[in-house]
Chain A
Amino acid sequence: MEDQNQESSDPVVALSLCDSTPLLWRAQDLRTVRSQSVVGALLGSLPRAPRQNLKLGRPLLLLPEEERLLRERHAALWVMTERTRSRIQAAEMSFLRREQQRSFEEQSVFALEDRKSALQRAMTSSQSGKNEALQRRLLDLDQNFTFPRSALAIQLSTTRAGLNYCPEARAFLQLDWPIRDQGNAQFDTRYLVFRDLWGRGFFLTSAGKFGGDFLVYPGDPLRFHAHFIAICLSLDEPVSLLDILAAARLGCNVKKTVLLCSPAPNGPVHYTSVQWSGMV
């Protein structure tokens, strides 16, 4: 998807709250944020193969920095659970019943056709002797085919139905944004670094497993390895030399460069790269 829209016309994604954490649910929303170089982390079981951890599925959890970025760009809004639910309850119930009946009827037609075509395929491939028996079965199928209710395929929706909103509601819903970042200095530092690196076209993910704040990818993490481990420090924060050595050594071992990132007040972000020289 191309990202040539201006900021204001960027599609809006819906965040909904789960145990005070904002999650993205709609597949369309996931694509939208990814097209804006926002990666997030998938948390749920993958429908196709739910019992493995290598590839996970929806929902998508955003880093606090990603969430704040989307909010500042007015590219995300909050969806309230309770209000939406009660409004659609009654309408949904009758809709659902009708839908299921219709689905059952249509699926039984599909099932019948499926069975027929299977038999027909068998007929063309087998000898003439067997054909008669198959012909009889085909007729039989036409007359007393029943599609058992238990064979009805139904969908276990990932996203709540009726999760919709129009652009006009944007401003209104924006007001309901819960205050999550407590304005602590560390979070601000991280956010300034995140915004700067993101603005330079990098993709960022969380780097807890490498002892840093962000992993910095030159392109989409699906296709590229991370180049940097970003460690966010405010400019006036004293750092122990041992910590820097440890970070550099770890970065060297995973073939990444450690970046010390410090945003100057109202200015640019200062980046210092630390690399193990390898000199003996």
Chain B
Amino acid sequence: MANPNKTCNAEKFYNEILSPSELFAARSRSHKIPVRGQKDFFPDDSKKQREQLQQTLEEHWSLVSEERVERLGNLVKATWNPNEQIVELQTPAGKFWQTMGFSSDGKQFLLPEEALYLMECGNVLVFYKELPLSIQDGYEMFLSSDTVGLQQFQVFGHLKRLGYVVHRFDPSLEPSSYVRQLNLPQSHERGGRTLKRKRSVSPTSSQTETRAESPAEKMEEDSKLPESLLVTSAEPPEAQNASISSADDSRVRTWRTWNGPGRDSEKTLITASSSARSRWDFSTIFFPDLGHGGQRPSCMAPPDPSLLPADLTAGVCDVAAWRHKINLRHVKMSAKERKREQHKHRRWRDMNKDKEVRRCSNWAEYHDLLARRQAKPRGQPAHLWNAEVEPLHNPTRPLSTAELLDKISVIKSTHLLDGASRLKGADEWRICFNVYQPDSVADFRKSNPGKPYARMCVCSFSGPVPDLGVIKQLTFQSGDVPVVFAVVDHGDISFYSFKDFQLPRDVYP
């Protein structure tokens, strides 16, 4: 090796550039990696060891200093757009298009991390200001900690090299807890928009998205509802001014295809109420029942604008057309069913027919009566239940062993998702990627990727360990897909996951 000082001066302005003959020769170079021999335990300064080290190092350097050489015809050309942080393809995409990239306005795009990975694989040549970018340029220009930083890219590259399909995770595209609870069918249109949405930097695309979103998602985005409110059923809209939000035709059509005919009442209908936009109280927002009787006006008043997204206007809706489409026949019950209904009815009434209850002249007496009735079966040592501290279990009430064990356990077991829906997301913790298994690549469709194999959260060995709150929140956000923590320690990446664990119980009911 030459004297370093000399090399420094003699180095050309453009270094590490191959000559045409080197380029030509590189077309037929081997793609094998030399196998590494057994390592030694201790350096003993022997000639043999020195030679071995020298040879290994030379192999290492020849591998590491090798430059990428590709035929011009095999390269996909693209340009870097720094404002939108996106890479636009100039020539038709290659095989990678099956799992990477997205199109918008008739153009094909790659996300920066995808483009960088493909540059490293020698598939894509990216230009900026008409100059081809080196891998170094790619690392320095494409990676930023706001979106995908160096550590995230390390994880991305690691998984891609193993063959996984890796996409950015977009929380707004996941079905919210509300949607999950309602068990709404997943829209297939979504996937297409998924990719568009990633470009939300451009104002034009965000406009088109608002329309396509499902109403349930919208609600959830606007308001983080406490779970108790989510289960509220729609009350019969007798007393209300039911109204249907009718937007432009395309919107209505979209909703219909999502939910199928005959279930319209669930979606579109919202009654005006004094509810604030930030917190929707579903006990005061009613879904009109289109099937209820024929005496209703055929038009419904517009919904309260405060319930609608800001840029949406809804007018009066003619519901006559909808009526034709739904089943208005009365429910015919068999004799048996009717009997059961009546029986149910009677049991409810029984309370007032009870003679003792009728004798009660006020609530206090009624409560006394109830207390007396409940105390009766306890029988024997009734005084035990009079004190402030009561026995844990009432022996007269039958109880399974498991329930009893559960009752006497001092520390209650808790589930990972307990209370998770109420947790606020922490800024420093976010899910970065959706990961799909390599064997799914053959029939993978970007428009409908299906359920991911796992979701990746990238963190560092030098950073904090996620606390229980973070784990709960991320697990909740991820739904039924496991969250994996990819922990980066300089060059090494380790994967960890936290799972709910149920202690085995000795007794089964």
Chain A positions within 8 Å of B, measured between CB atoms, are 1, 5, 9-12, 16-21, 23, 25-28, 30-32, 34, 40-59, 61, 63, 81, 89, 92-93, 95-96, 99, 102-103, 106-107, 110-111, 114, 148-164, 166-167, 205-206, 208-209, 218-220, 222-225, 227
Contact = CB atoms under 8 A, between A and B. Distances in A.
Contacts of A93: 130-131
Contacts of A111: 24
A166 B8 contact: yes
A150 B144 contact: no
Contacts of A161: 13-15, 17, 134
A-B interface, 3 closest residue pairs, ranked by CB to CB distance from nearest: A150-B73, A41-B491, A208-B489
Given A59-B136, A222-B36, A151 B71 contact: yes
B392 interface: no
B4 A10 contact: yes
Contacts of B73: 148-152
B21 A110 contact: yes
Given A19-B145, A224-B39, A225-B41, A96 B4 contact: no
Chain B interface, DSSP helix/strand/loop, else mixed: mixed
Contacts of A103: 20, 23
A158 B134 contact: yes
Interface string B437-453: 00000000000000000
B501 to A, nearest CB: 21
A49 B67 contact: no
Given A158-B135, A166-B8, A45 B491 contact: no
Contacts of A9: 4-5
A17 B140 contact: yes
Contact of A158 (B8, B39, B68): B68
A98 B83 CA distance: 30
A220 B49 CA distance: 11
A43 B5 contact: no
A99 B5 CA distance: 28
B119 interface: yes
A223 B49 contact: yes
Contacts of A57: 63-64, 66
B380 interface: no
Contacts of B135: 44, 58-59, 156-159
Interface in B46-96: 49, 52-53, 56-57, 60-61, 63-75
Nearest to B73: A150
A153 B149 CA distance: 32
Contacts of B117: 45
B318 interface: no
B366 interface: no
Contact of A209 (B9, B18, B145, B489): B489
B429 to A, nearest CB: 18
A42 B487 CA distance: 17
Contacts of A40: 491
A208 B137 CA distance: 29
B417 to A, nearest CB: 30
Contact of A27 (B11, B26, B65, B74): B65
B60 A222 contact: yes
B508 interface: no
Contacts of A11: 4-5, 7-8
A20 B31 CA distance: 33
Interface centre among B7, B36, B66 (most CB of A within 10 A): B66
B136 A47 contact: no
20 contacts: A11-B7, A18-B143, A32-B4, A43-B491, A45-B117, A45-B121, A45-B157, A48-B33, A57-B66, A58-B135, A111-B24, A149-B73, A153-B69, A154-B23, A162-B13, A208-B461, A222-B53, A222-B57, A225-B39, A227-B42
Contacts of B139: 18, 23, 59
B77 to A, nearest CB: 11
Contacts of B1: 1, 31
A92 B131 CA distance: 8
Contacts of B32: 48-49
A150 B72 contact: yes
A28 B2 CA distance: 11
Nearest to A226: B39
Contacts of A26: 15-16
A107 B134 contact: no
Nearest to A35: B1
B21 A106 contact: yes
A150 B125 contact: no
B24 A47 contact: no
A157 B17 contact: yes
B481 to A, nearest CB: 24
Contacts of A92: 131
Given A42-B491, A51-B163, A162-B13, A155 B18 contact: yes
B491 A50 contact: no
Nearest to B137: A160
Given A28-B7, A42-B491, 7 more contacts: A46-B64, A95-B14, A106-B21, A153-B24, A154-B70, A156-B70, A160-B137
Given A11-B7, A27-B64, A51 B161 contact: yes
Nearest to A52: B161
Contacts of B477: none
B464 interface: no
B468 interface: no
Nearest to B45: A219
B235 interface: no
A88 to B, nearest CB: 8
A153 B68 contact: no
A223 B4 contact: no
B452 to A, nearest CB: 21
A160 B42 CA distance: 39
